[in-house]
Amino acid sequence: MAVFSRKGSRVVKESRQQRERQRQAQEATNMAGTTLGNIMGAKEEDGDSALPIAGEEEAAKGGNKGNKFSEHMKKSTGASSFSQSKSLREQREFLPAFAVREELLRVIRENQVTIVIGETGSGKTTQLTQFLMEDGYGRAGMIGCTQPRRVAAMSVAKRVAEEMEVELGSAVGYSIRFEDVTSKETIIKYMTDGVLLRESLNEPDLDRYSCIIMDEAHERALNTDILMGLFKKVLQRRRDLKLIVTSATMNAKRFSDFYGGAPEFTIPGRTFPVDVMFHRSPVEDYVDGAVQQVLAIHVSMGPGDILVFMTGQEDIEVTCEQVQKRLDALNDPPKLSILPIYSQMPADLQAKIFDRAAPGVRKCIVATNIAETSLTVDGIKYVVDAGYSKMKVYNPKMGMDTLQITPISQANGSQRSGRAGRTGPGKAFRLYTEKAFKEELYLQTIPEIQRTNLANTVLMLKSLGVKDLLDFDFMDPPPQDTILTSMFDLWALGALDNLGELTGLGQKMSAFPMDPSLSKLLITAEEYGCSEE
């Protein structure tokens, strides 16, 4: 699988080359009639020879209506047949979390740190914040809930606001980079872990919060690991602060041990059986294999929406193009609504995946690993798992982090398959062999802190007043050489002085959510009066 990931998809490469040829043809057409165009022999052509790239046409029609996700979420968005027939109160009482509400609150009252193990469909993300508010924790401060991804923070906040029958941005809100939908009345606040980390720069003890829930902590994002270490110090200073860490079953003990044997509380999941099917032989082109599998499901299998896991924007767009192209070539095929989702997509297009499909139309969602745990869309019965994801890895030759396509872990594969059993029995099609799953895939994903450049992390920790970085309480400490190299890089940029302390320039650089070298570039550009260039 590692070999195939390095080679990439042939279908994607061909599509990229075709777009490049179309772009060059379009440029030549635009030059026709000019002096340079006459020299080069460019001729005017009727019409536009270039085809729109997948998603651009739709984005042009509806992608500029507004960037706020909250503006595009409808009242019925994401509603399943179950939710259509039951009141919001009945839906809440149906969730497994509701059955253990009193026992869970008792454990939280008796302990400063609680590890909650919640399976798919348990309702932990939407219900835990409401339980805490109903138990009076909202009177002492805000109840914060961190999510590893932006779309998850937005969609969950919208759902909780509906359940509480309040307007999004009042008692319930969310905060992500470049978008803050909260107010002075906000009690429950969903946010990305990066937002909470930035808030801790100005408010080290997080005095505005009475409870913090770190959701999906098992993903071990870089910001999550830093927050874990910071909370150890904050909890010593603030005995009134409650920390709840939610995790997948396999990682729960790691978090419990890290916080001195914190109690583990399990919420049973409401999952249905999933029939997992492996490929008989290795799939060399995962995009082509996924397209073939989607068409086979759509043409020959019963009702139910399809969820396809791809690595990133380009793979997703090409997959959508190919599915539509091959579907059009069939004789009177069943109707299929193809919906991509990735982080850079405009907010109004992201919200479309939650819309109910028209009667007689099957929905096919092509997503990144955002749909593994953070995002739940009702109606998914079939999952197509390509077996790869994009991982941030430090490239020493380039001196910066790069996104590389790599095989997923066994834990990722299990999470992906579980998406098919959210609302009923389902099927998961893995585009790799059972042998590859057992012998080639890691049990868990390597924590981000052990595979990325830590210059930005060092800068952040220095800003937070951490003196000895080698003594910082990381759950999985990065190699000392990596930390020392990062400190040297920051010293070379002028962010640290000879004693390893933060300089005035370093203080300015820490305010930018980007690589330190780019931060210095912007600051220097402003000093030279060429920031626009």
Q: Which domains does the chain have, with CATH numbers?
A: 74-267 (3.40.50.300), 274-448 (3.40.50.300), 453-527 (1.20.120.1080)
| Mean local confidence (pLDDT), 288-309 | 95
Mean pLDDT value across residues 18-40: 63
User: Confidence class of residue 148 from pLDDT cuts 50, 70 and 90?
Assistant: confident
DSSP code for 371:
G
pLDDT at position 45 over 70: no
SS3 385: strand
Alpha helices in 164-285 (DSSP H): 193-202, 222-237, 252-258
Question: In this structure, is the dihedral angle defined by the CA atoms of residues 498, 501, 506 and 507, taken in order, positive or negative?
Answer: negative
Beta bridge partners of 391: 404
Residue 55 has what DSSP assignment? T
Write the CA distances from 161 to 70, 75, 166, 182, integer angstroms.
11, 11, 5, 12
* Alpha-carbon span 381 to 84, nearest angstrom: 18
Q: What is the pLDDT of residues 238-285, one digit of tens each?
A: 999 999 999 876 678 889 999 999 999 998 876 788 999 999 998 989
Instruction: Look up tokens 């507004």; give the residue.
Output: 66
Residue 247 burial (10 A CB sphere; 0-12, 13-18, 19+): buried
- Taking the whole predicted model, whether its pTM rises above 0.85 is answered as no
* 461-518 residue pLDDT tens: 898 888 888 888 888 888 888 888 889 999 999 999 998 899 999 999 988 888 898 8
pLDDT at 92: 78
What angle separates helix 516-527 from helix 455-463, to the nearest 10 degrees?
Answer: 70
Q: Which amino acid is at 354?
A: F
Q: Which of 20-34, 305-319, 514-528 has the highest mean pLDDT?
A: 305-319
Residue type, 243: L
Distance, CA of 261 to CA of 514 (rounded, Å): 36
- Whole-angstrom distance, CA of residue 16 vs CA of residue 19: 5
**Tokens 């210095």 correspond to what residue?**
520
Q: Has residue 289 got a pLDDT over 50? A: yes
Alpha carbon distance 279, 432 (integer Å): 5
Q: SS3 of 32, please? A: coil
Residue type, 78: G
Query: Distance between CA atoms of 208 and 481, rounded to whole angstroms?
Result: 37
The separation between CA 294 and the C-alpha centre of its own chain, rounded to angstroms, equals: 23
